Amino acid sequence: MADVALEKNASVGKMWTKEKKIGEGTYATVFEGREVATGRKIAIKKIKLGQFKDGISLDAIREIKFLRELRHENVIELLSVYSAKANINLVLEFCQTDLEYLIKNKTLLFLPGDVKSWMQMTLRGLEFCHRNGVLHRDLKPNNLFITSEGVLKVADFGLAREFGDGSMKMTPEVITTWYRPPELLFGARAYSSSVDIWSVGCIFAELMLRVPFFAGASNLDQLKIMYSAMGSPTEAEWPNLKTLPDYVQLDFVPRKPWHLHFSAASPDAITMLKGFLAYNPNKRVSAKEALLNPYFHTSPYPTHPSKLPLPTPGTGVARILAPELNGQGQKHVLKDKKRKKGVDEDDEEDGEGSGTKKVARKLTFG
């Protein structure tokens, strides 16, 4: 029986070739490769073994588990998993770039319809995850991959997990700080899909501003920046606020009109943004509701993916992130030790924090 399994595994491995190295992730080295039968480009994520006490990082297990279950146009596709020479390899559809790179590449002009299109694709992918009971818990522009056809794919499910009725206890130490919602900054352990929606709001703001909207250096700094941009949350709008485990009283900041920050945004865009960035998680719009919002159904309509701005391969806009393009966000990730320390109460024995240091990456998308 074991021989049959080994043979099958070896034959699966032969379906793909590994060519050059294109990236270095938290728990894997990523290669560009090809499907032997068709010649189509693919990405192979070779999981680093041995550096974790139980052999394989929990991030890798999560990624395999969720990507095997989720199949959607706007979720990165896991084509195969095979082992070779004591390594585990994930075969993924190949992507050309990611949204962080596009945002930082100031040679690319974004039209309002382009922003709408990226937002719509993000929400479609996310709505599918939420409908299937999966929280992403690490949405940010560099986890939104873009194919050479301009299609956006939600990627990196290393911090994802199932969620239920909202009573389940989970770690608040998830989501990169700049995209982390106020309830997690205040230590909430029971939370829901609305945490991902806050991240979507931060991404939306960043697409309009071309810089991160709330770029705090710590949890407290993050809250202060949020308050100074949007005003303090009130108990009238968020009655349970003060009962959160790590609640801290900060100086009161009065509300500010949104158009101060987003002077070029349409009223529809502002309404949409307010729906994502509601302080009270229960008042945040869901992915499903957002997709029905007039913002997506009025002119200018979402740009067709094939018409979205993309750096053209081989024309000098290299996919290798130059230091000036790769500055703040990447440094932030490196500094943000907690980013990969997320350990849910029911996951604690997995020691997810151990050894999952984020490494600096070169992004080389062919």
Report the interface residues with ligand ADP, using CB under 6 A. 22-23, 25-26, 28, 30, 43, 45, 76, 92, 94-95, 145, 156, 158, 361, 363, 365
* Buried/exposed 136-158: b ≥16 CB within 10 Å, e otherwise: bbbbbbbbbbbbbebbbbbbbbb
Supply the minimum distance, in Å, between the C-beta of residue 98 and ligand ADP.
7
Give the count of beta carbons closer than 10 Å to the beta carbon of residue 7: 10
**Angle at CA 92, nearest 5°, toward 88 and 93?**
165
Q: Least distance to ligand ADP from the beta carbon of 97, Å?
A: 9
Q: Contact 310/146 with Cβ under 8 angstroms?
A: yes
Query: Nearest distance from residue 233's CB to ligand ADP, in Å?
Result: 31
Q: Judged by CB, which is closer to ligand ADP: 30, or 115?
A: 30
Q: Which amino acid does the sequence have at 230?
A: M
Q: How are strands ordered across the β-sheet holding 144-146? A: 97-98, 144-146, 152-154
165 included as an active-site residue: no
For residue 155, the minimal CB distance to ligand ADP (Å) is 6
**Shortest distance, position 365 Cβ to ligand ADP, whole Å:** 5
Which H or E element spans position 134?
Answer: strand 134-135
Edge-to-edge order in the sheet of strand 78-84: 16-24, 28-35, 41-47, 87-93, 78-84
Which CB, 30 or 265, lies closer to ligand ADP? 30
The catalytic position among 59, 98, 114, 138 is: 138
**Cβ-based nearer residue to ligand ADP, 30 or 290:** 30
User: Are 270 and 294 spatial neighbours (Cβ–Cβ below 8 Å)?
Assistant: no
Q: Which structure tokens are listed for 35?
A: 């499907």
Of 98 and 183, nearer to ligand ADP (C-beta) is 98
In terms of CB distance, is 6 or 359 closer to ligand ADP?
359
Q: State both tokens at 273.
A: 């943004």
Q: Taking CB positions, which residue lies at the least distance from ligand ADP?
A: 25
Active-site residue list: 138
